[in-house]
Amino acid sequence: MTQDRNIDSLLEERLRELENGIAIDQILASLSLDQADLASLIRVAANTRLLEQPKQDPAHSREQKRKIIEYASSKGYRSSYRTKIFWVLGPASLVLFTLLFLFSILGGLLLFTNPTSGRYATFQEIKGIVEVASSKDESNWIPVTNGDHAREGAFIRTRMDSSVVIKFPDGSQTLVEPESMLSISYLRKDWLGYTKIYLNQYMGSTHNNVKNLIGESIYFEIVTPEGKATVHGTQFQVEVDQSGVSHFSVDRGILQVFGANGGKVLLTAGEATEVKASKVPEPPAYQFMIQGKINRISGNNWTVANVPFTTELELSHEKPFSTGDLVVVRGRILTDKRWIADKVKYGRNEKEKLRFTGVVDSISNDHWVIGGTNVKINNQSENDLNIASGDSVEVNFIVLSDGSWLAKGITRLEEKEESKLPLSTTPANTLQVPIIPTKEIEGRRTPTPLASSTSSHESSYTPTLGYTPSGETTGCELGDNIQPEGLRLADRYEVSYEEIMGWFCKGYGFGEVDLAYELSLKSKKPVEQIFQLRASGLGWGDIKKMFEAKVTPTPAKHKDKTKPTKHLKK
């Protein structure tokens, strides 16, 4: 019996050496003659350890994971934890409660006296014109600058070619893309230190980087007219289309999307869904993005950058896209492998970009199958190490001359590092290469200043800092190419496209041009005067105040408790 135990222990020692990476030959060589019988047992163990083991079917495990997460969600966040805390504390709970109560009063006092205590968001990385107001329909939108604060109740909008990063007290950030509008409906830290952020997004796009929950608790929610998204720590995008569709997609983490009229889906990294007015959310689907020239349009079947897809959008009525146009297409890959475009818009530069997300079905030396799609691999492909079948990945690829796809890089989505928000897709005053819509410019007009020039405003103000538009806006030299923003502004203010582009090429962003013409229209002052003031160093907020004070003789506005103008602080 004792001898058996000794042999058992000796065998275990050798097996541990095996686990610790010692070569089997070395282990076997160290056995004495009377231990020779152990050699074959060690070999059996070693062979078993090295064996390629069966793996769960990727599609099944993905579905299983989704169900388990849904089940965990349905049980309610923190409920069990709170129960546990309550019972663990036992008799001491009363004392603790009293202490917490006192701390909460102290915390409350700090909360109200310290602007960084959790009730303020800060504007950063402003490009172009970003404004705040106390209501969506407020006529008095006030331009903000970097470092300004906003708190709950504030409405925020970006003009054409403009963007802003809103930084919340817990470190979460929202990048607001051009021509977007949202409001902060709730922004508070509770007495346990958990930050709750609720936003309403009315139009446009946001990229949201919600601070990871691990080690710190926050709660983030975005409501759109068609649905809402709630998260605890993730990176995701929301796009609200004026046609009554909200689009949600996830880069990292998990997102719960609810339809305004019921229904819920859970999105994991790489997935997207759409919610149409009065409908439940579409089932989660992987995504694709194509930037390139249109090769072919045949009814609903399109080919862009040699990638075919279908679209059910009624694009022909609103946007007359044609072959050769440079476009950006975003869409979903349905379970039947069909690529469906959800959004097509004019592109910003001619660089072809092709990518899609999906689950790795199989891996071999020269090609991978991802979401049912064959992708070639070569030594130039930059793929994450340790990707295995069943992982969700993002594939950047090119189309080869024979029509096959070659991966430039494959990244495992769940392992994507918590990244900074992307740069705005339309940086102010910068056009890498103008787009080439085929639409003809209609109704070009001669530049017409809106009113005669007066100098009544300037006398009372002495600017301390000069503003010099760079005048280096790339793309201006390529006269054959038309900017859609320029066209839209020309139409909106009934001036020529060339006049708009004249300001743009002096270095003003389209958002600034938009604001200048709007002020000119309201104040009946020439637009040149407004640009002159800006060039003299006056900020857009001051210019707007100056003009509106003169033009609109102090209209009595209703008092709003959450008026953001009062929250603006530097």
Positions that interact with other proteins (CB under 8 A): 4-5, 7-9, 11-12, 15-16, 19, 40-41, 43-45, 47-49, 51-57, 60-61, 64-65, 67-73, 75-81, 83-84, 213-215, 232-234, 253-254, 256, 266, 268, 414
SS3 of residue 469 by DSSP: coil
Residue 29 vs 51, nearer CB to other proteins: 51
> To 5 degrees, how large is the angle CA 67–CA 70–CA 71?
85
Least distance from other proteins to the Cβ atom of residue 313, Å: 33
* Buried-state track 268-300, b at ≥16 Cβ within 10 A, e below 16: bbbbbbbbbeebbbbebbbbbbbbbbbeebeee
Nearer to other proteins, 248 or 321 (CB): 248
Residue number with CB closer to other proteins (43 or 188)? 43
d(CA 57, CA 274): 28
Q: Pick the closer one to other proteins by CB: 394 or 512.
A: 394
Closest approach, Cβ 371 to other proteins, in A, equals 18
Write out 139-165 in H/E/C secondary structure.
CCCEECCCCCEEECCCEEEECCCCEEE
> Least distance (Å) from other proteins to the CB of residue 201?
22
Give min distance, CB of 44 to other proteins, in A. 5
Name which of 231 and 326 has its Cβ closer to other proteins.
231
CB of 268 to other proteins, least distance (A): 7
Residue 325: partners with Cβ closer than 8 Å, 6 or more residues away: 293, 294, 346, 435, 436, 437, 438
Least distance to other proteins, CB of residue 228, Å: 16
Between CA 91 and CA 418 the distance in angstroms is 42
Q: Which is nearer to other proteins, 214 or 465 (CB)?
A: 214
Q: Which of 180, 122, 119 is nearest to 153 (CA)?
A: 119
DSSP H or E segment with residue 382: strand 382-383
Report the residue number, 49 or 296, with the smaller CB distance to other proteins: 49
Q: Shortest distance, CB of residue 55 to other proteins, whole angstroms?
A: 6
Q: Which is nearer to other proteins, 78 or 338 (CB)?
A: 78
Q: How far is the CB of 528 from other proteins (least distance, A)?
A: 55
Nearest partner of 144 among 124, 167, 116, judged by Cα = 124
Q: How far is the CB of 49 from other proteins (least distance, A)?
A: 5
- Residues contacting 509, CB < 8 A, separation 6+: 127, 128, 129, 160, 161, 162, 428, 429
For the CA atoms of 549, 552, 558, 559, the dihedral, rounded to the nearest 10 degrees, stands at: 0
In single-letter form, the type of residue at position 467 comes to Y
Distance CA 267, CA 225 (A): 19
- CA atoms within 13 A of residue 495's CA, in its CB half-sphere: 21
Compare residues 33 and 51 and give the one whose CB is closer to other proteins.
Answer: 51
Q: Under DSSP, is residue 89 helix (H, G, I), strand (E, B) or coil?
A: helix
